[in-house]
Structure 1
């Protein structure tokens, strides 16, 4: 009877360790289309924002489609802070306490987080591991995945992809402009 429990315990431990291993998580990811073909996505991420005089960490849920975005911002513990909506009529920033601000351009409303307008259309490209046609100093890995670029005055570094496949999506990226530094840790993608 002792040997049965020992075998059962060992098998259970192996199953639990396999389920927790990063390798198991990589195998569970669906095959990704070529990143140039992706037009819509949803992602969940943690954002670290550093700028002179302040440093913040927030959570973000982002639903993106052509000219349409819905971005929810929450504190580290999950408390809703604000929501940014963008569509063909313009952009709206709605804070958790009901404050509402409207603008023609979502980039200006994102400056509520960073003190510097963020180019939302470019951020959507960068999150996918893409850059504009005007990007400079572009460096790629052997699988042609973006590692480093300067795009519209912003420096973009992708330090980790979700796995080793050529069409894998970014998991960790940093963008910098002047004294603003943003680190985006993407935890989940939906295409």
Structure 2
């Protein structure tokens, strides 16, 4: 066999080895862990929020008690004065403001925007603050513990910037919720699961 033939044969063998290596299956990587999370029907939280519709902004403190289908929101100014109280249940919603307005509507969704300036779905908000989005929401990213880091739900983008601990079931501590020009930033200072 000539030197030329041996070089050609060696080149062909090398090409076959490279070709077979390209066809080899890629190493299997473990799927990211998924933290088991479920929504509770009764909770109480206290925190700070800011809300903006792109033109106007509001900020202050929020106290929210949610028990099954009832909601009690107290919105306070940054200095601690009550700005508004919103109560909602199966019979409807009532809003009382510091300037003496008394409003009522069929649901909290109809009244909360009057205070926040952002038309946010209260029923979804209850799931979002627990990092337990509904089955039709899309979890786009998870953190290293398997908890939601980015969720898309009905056009809303929910980013979980911080959790209250390292465990998989720790509640969120900082959220950024946005859709278009509407944005709500929420820092949860205390969280209590109610019986």
TM-score (norm 1): 0.78
Are 2:94 and 1:92 equivalent residues in the alignment?
yes
Unmatched runs of 5 consecutive residues or more in structure 2: 1-35
Report the equivalent of 1:175: 177
Cα distance in structure 2, aligned partners of 1:115 and 1:39: 26
Q: What is the CA–CA distance in structure 2 between the aligned matches of 1:115 and 1:96, rounded to whole Å?
A: 16
Say which structure, 1 or 2, has more relative contact order (CA 8 Å, 6+ apart). Answer: 2
- Computed over aligned residues only, the root mean square deviation of the Cα atoms, in angstroms, reads 1.4
Distance, in Å, in 1 between the alignment partners of 2:67 and 2:110 is 19
The answer to which structure has the higher helix fraction is 1
- Which 4+ stretches in 1 moved above 6 angstroms? none
Structure 1 residues not aligned, in runs of 5+ = 1-33
Alignment of structure 1 residues 67-86 onto 2, 5 Å: 67-86=69-88
Give the number of the structure whose alpha-carbon radius of gyration is greater.
2
Aligned-partner Cα distance in 2 for 1:87–1:109? 13
| Residue matched to 2:163 | 161
Compute the TM-score of the two structures, normalised by the length of structure 2: 0.77
Aligned to 1:11: none
Task: Give the SS at the match of 1:93.
Answer: strand
What is the CA-CA distance between 1:137 and the residue it aligns to? 4.7
How many residues get paired?
Answer: 158
